[in-house]
Amino acid sequence: MASKLRELMLLRHAKSDWKQEDLADIDRPLSDKGKKHAAKLGKWLNQNNLMPDLILVSPALRAQQTLRRICNECAATAITVESLYLADINQLKQVLAEAPFAERIMLIGHNPGLESLFNYLVAQPDASHVQLFPTCGLAHLIMPNDWTSLEPMDGKLQQFITPKKIKNSL
């Protein structure tokens, strides 16, 4: 029996607000621009039938606020995963290995971990245009069915989108 392919969406939280310098990093909220960008991306995901089945999200306030704006119309199950906060590539791979099965999973987290995971999974020519993982950047990958031991180049990039690339006609 051929193994079924699954989808992984890596989403870096939207732009955070740095007005309150004494705020703990985990408590930093989204900026007004970040709120708009996350809502715009959520609308785009919905219009393109790309809403995830399962969302794994960092406990950081900015990631939680990104989730709420992305999934305003979303029926996906969302799980806050403590280890996603500022996770490195090994922690991210572990989260994916332990993730409940879903056909399309979105991971909402932080850099530099997301960028490292992206580069690990998609070290191929069609990803060379992604030089950094900007805030509210979304990588949509086709993945193998088994995520228990992901290897370099296991992901195939379908698209990389940012709110700036989405036409304003939404």
Residues 89-122 have pLDDT tens digits of: 999 999 999 999 999 999 999 999 999 999 999 9
170 within a domain of the structure (yes/no): no
Looking up residue 136, the CATH number of its domain turns out to be: 3.40.50.1240
Helix (H) or strand (E) holding 116: helix 113-121
Residue 126 in this model has a pLDDT that exceeds 90? no
pLDDT, position 167:
80
- The strand ranges marked E within 13-111 are 54-57, 77-80, 104-109
How much is the pLDDT for 20? Answer: 87
Cα 51 to chain centroid, rounded = 12
Q: Which residue in the block uniquely carries the two structure tokens 């007004």?
A: 32
Is the separation of the CB atoms in 116 and 88 below 8 Å? yes
76 occurs within a structural domain: yes
* pLDDT confidence of residue 1: 38
| Residue 79 is assigned to a structural domain of this protein | yes
Q: Considering the chain, what percentage of its residues have pLDDT values greater than 90? A: 79
Q: What's the CA gap between 123 and 136, in Å, rounded?
A: 21
Least confidently predicted of 16-20, 51-55, 123-127, 149-153: 123-127
Asked if the structure places residue 10 within a domain, the reply is: yes
Selection from 41, 116, 121, 34 nearest residue 74 by Cα: 41
Residue 127 lies in a domain: yes
93 lies in which domain range?
Answer: 6-14+27-165
In a domain, 95, yes or no: yes
35 or 167, greater pLDDT:
35
pLDDT at position 133, please?
87
* CA–CA gap between residue 43 and residue 26 (Å, rounded): 26
Domain-embedded: residue 22: no
Structural domains counted in the chain: 1
- Greater confidence (163 vs 5) lies with 163
Q: Are 7 and 105 in contact (CB under 8 A)?
A: yes
Per-residue pLDDT band at 74 (split at 50, 70, 90) = confident
Note whether residue 124 is domain-resident: yes
Tell me what the mean pLDDT of segment 129-156 comes to. Answer: 90
